[in-house]
Chains A and B, each alone.
Chain A
Amino acid sequence: MSESAAEPLLSIRDLRVEFETDAAAVAAVRGIDVSIAAGETVALVGESGSGKSVTAMSVMRLTEGRIAAGSIQFQGRDLAHVPEAEMRSIRGGQIGMIFQEPMTSLNPVFSIGQQIEEVLRLHQQLSAPAARTQALELLQRVGISAPARRIAQYPHELSGGMKQRVMLAMAIACRPRLLIADEPTTALDVTIQAQIMELLRSLQREFGMAVLLITHDLGVVAHFAERVLVMYAGKIVEQGSVRDVFKRASHPYTQALLAALPDPQNPRKRLAAIPGRVPSPAMLPPGCAFCARCAHAFEPCPVRQPPLFAVGEGHHAACFLRE
């Protein structure tokens, strides 16, 4: 549990990220709090456009939007305000990141060895032979067979799963304290997904990394994460341990998401869908962003923003039903 640790590894407070448009600044993330303890796995779930990737990119300070308010405390520094040079040494050094599209996340003109060695030489000032030796070890660690042969290969010669393994090798090359995995398995086959998640889990144990897992795959969350944060329209609507959130979903949005999962016992049942669509971030209601699609909406919902109400031990939901 994050609260039990004296000082969380990563602590995002009231983060607000805005994008400039022709009309006005539009907020993709509207004041969220996230804290991750060392070694913990936290999943950030939500549908496309809910702001989960923007949150992740903000931690790396690579978002194209502007961090308008809030702080991102990481090991005693506020990542929202550290100088760019220091940020560069944190990226890839203390925070690693892997992406959704392994197919295009590697540079096509360099061999995978060159790309891994570059990270090692940059952050750890290794000599070329030392970097090569360590790159071979990393490739072997992420389960690439015959690393001495693979290391000279180019990305187009590898399969998607292997590329994601290479991305992982690069992300963990400098033993980061935090790994951000932005939909790491979305672009992969189901069988490969399981292998990659298993690998991620074993690497996490070995290196004692915390993992911020961005996904919309609730199955992956249930399997892999300890805590889960549900985002909707730039706000966290529910958070708690995976067990609590899956067993006692307290926000109507989370309930609807879980109801939309296919039921393996009854495969012919029609899948439930949430009516309506995510509101555009430029036209959010003053109250709860979900109220237009919510079956339980009542008087305060459209006019007042619901704060997070405690519904259990470390389990919160932003819904007036839980007041």
Chain B
Amino acid sequence: MSVPVGPAPAIEALAAPHADAEALGIAETPAQQLWRTFRKDRLAMLGLYALCTLLAVALIGHLLTSWWVLFDPTTVRLPDKLLPPFSTASSALSAELMPPFHAYPFGTDELGRNVFARMLQGAFVSLSVGIVAVSISLGIGITVGGLAGFYGERKLGPLSIDSLLMRFTDVVLCFPTFFLILTVVALLPPSIYNIMIVIGITSWMSTARFVRAEFLALREQDFVTAAKALGLSEGRIIFRHMMPNAMAPVLVSATINVAHAILTESALSFLGFGVRPPYATWGNILADGRSYIFDAPWLFLIPGAAILLVVLAFNLVGEGLRDALNPKLRKRVG
């Protein structure tokens, strides 16, 4: 419940008792309403829990793997190579090579590196690639879609802004994205930032279309005219007044796009075009494990399962959001 805050005591005195407002179930912000509906979707909540856990793991893992020497995912321990999960380290290792608690929870790879540490490092890479890439694609998509939807009818030469921008979107949509990414990544120095940017600028098209469609409808709404009549600038109307009203489908597609971006990054790393090898990502752990499918199946099972889980969790949350943001469904549930 949001309780109104009166700045001055004199104003506070104007307020009627808050009790009846709560009894009527009013004064609920749209976000609270969304959460109330979302919470009832068990699968989506499961996905959300999984994501929160993963996010925490990725953050803690990032700290552990970068600051704790024993946890260094690049430490090579040749005597301990290809150990199965839950095995203990051989006592032959010197103290500075010994893994924490003398254990390899996820086993070791062909160089004796701690797969658990590598997975932790990879979790951070995968999530940050997913989130940053989608932020970039949202930025481009919202701008292109918003401009096309709001200024659509204005002419730029013989074409309207709308047809110019949306045909450009169609053209980009025609590229076989993955091969485009492969080409670009092959030409650029392999860095995680390049991958984020490349994935971002090849995945904004659906967002642009969603935003444009929403804006076409919103533009005709009375509150937009009213906002103009109050003297608000066009930029403010677009970004502050119309954008939040157009966010529902964008939010849903963004969530699902994160899953796509993570998959793309994994695929790139698997093919060796991703992040440079000593740095672990789920994709290149999987790629390394490929040669030992029968001898050390955990090397591909563990990263494979992790990718599956993250993508599934993002998709579940995305679908839960879509249902919660659907006003028809909301009424039925709420």
Contacts and interface: CB of A to CB of B under 8 A. Distances in A.
Interface in B197-222: 221-222
Nearest to B30: A109
A149 B15 contact: yes
12 contacts: A88-B232, A88-B233, A96-B229, A99-B226, A105-B226, A107-B223, A122-B231, A133-B8, A146-B15, A148-B6, A149-B21, A170-B230
A122 B6 contact: no
Given A107-B241, A123-B231, A148-B4, A153 B26 contact: yes
Nearest to B244: A109
A119 B230 contact: yes
Contacts of A101: 222
Q: Which residue, of B3, B18, B223, B244, has the highest number of chain A Cβ atoms within 10 A?
A: B223
B230 A62 contact: no
A122 B241 CA distance: 14
Nearest to A88: B231
Interface in A119-172: 119, 122-123, 129, 132-133, 136, 140, 145-149, 151-154, 157, 167, 170-171
A170 B21 CA distance: 24
A47 interface: no
The 9 nearest A-B residue pairs measured at CB: A92-B231, A148-B15, A92-B230, A146-B16, A91-B231, A152-B4, A97-B229, A104-B222, A105-B226
Chain A: interface size category: 35 or more
Given A104-B222, A106-B226, A109-B245, A153 B231 contact: no
Q: Which residue, of A147, A149, A157, has the highest number of chain B Cβ atoms within 10 A?
A: A149
B29 A106 contact: no
A167 B226 contact: yes
B170 interface: no
B98 to A, nearest CB: 56
Contacts of A122: 230-232
Given A105-B222, A108-B245, A122-B232, A153 B27 contact: yes
A149 B16 contact: yes
Contacts of A96: 229
Contacts of A140: 14
Contact of B223 (A92, A93, A108, A136): A108
Contacts of A136: 6, 11, 14
Contacts of A152: 2-4, 27
Nearest to B226: A105
A148 B29 contact: no
A122 B225 CA distance: 17
B158 interface: no
Given A109-B30, A109-B245, A60 B229 contact: yes
B232 A107 contact: no
Contacts of A153: 26-27
A55 to B, nearest CB: 14
A170 B232 CA distance: 12
Given A104-B223, A129-B7, A167-B226, 5 more contacts: A62-B228, A146-B16, A152-B3, A157-B26, A171-B230
A197 interface: no
A88 B231 CA distance: 4
B279 to A, nearest CB: 42
Given A133-B11, A136-B14, A147-B14, A157 B27 contact: yes
B33 to A, nearest CB: 9
B11 A148 contact: yes
A143 to B, nearest CB: 13
A75 interface: no
A110 B12 CA distance: 21
A280 interface: no
Given A104-B222, A153-B27, A154-B29, A62 B229 contact: yes
A311 interface: no
B57 to A, nearest CB: 34
Contacts of B230: 91-92, 118-119, 122, 170-171
A153 B6 CA distance: 14
B333 interface: no
B18 A149 contact: yes
Contacts of A107: 223, 227, 241, 245
A90 interface: yes
A249 to B, nearest CB: 33
A151 B30 CA distance: 15
Contacts of A105: 222-223, 225-226
A195 interface: no
Interface string B1-41: 01110111001101110100100001111100000000000
A89 B16 contact: no
A147 B14 CA distance: 7
Contacts of B30: 108-109, 154
A148 B12 contact: yes
Interface in B83-129: none
Given A136-B14, A149-B4, A106 B229 contact: no
Contacts of B16: 145-146, 149
Nearest to A129: B7
B232 A118 contact: yes
Contacts of A132: 7
Contacts of B12: 148
Contacts of B2: 152
Nearest to A145: B16
Contacts of B6: 136, 148
A104 B14 contact: no
Interface in B225-251: 225-233, 241, 244-245
A148 B231 contact: no
A146 B14 CA distance: 6
A152 B1 CA distance: 10
A254 to B, nearest CB: 30
Interface in A74-114: 88-93, 96-97, 99, 101, 104-111, 113
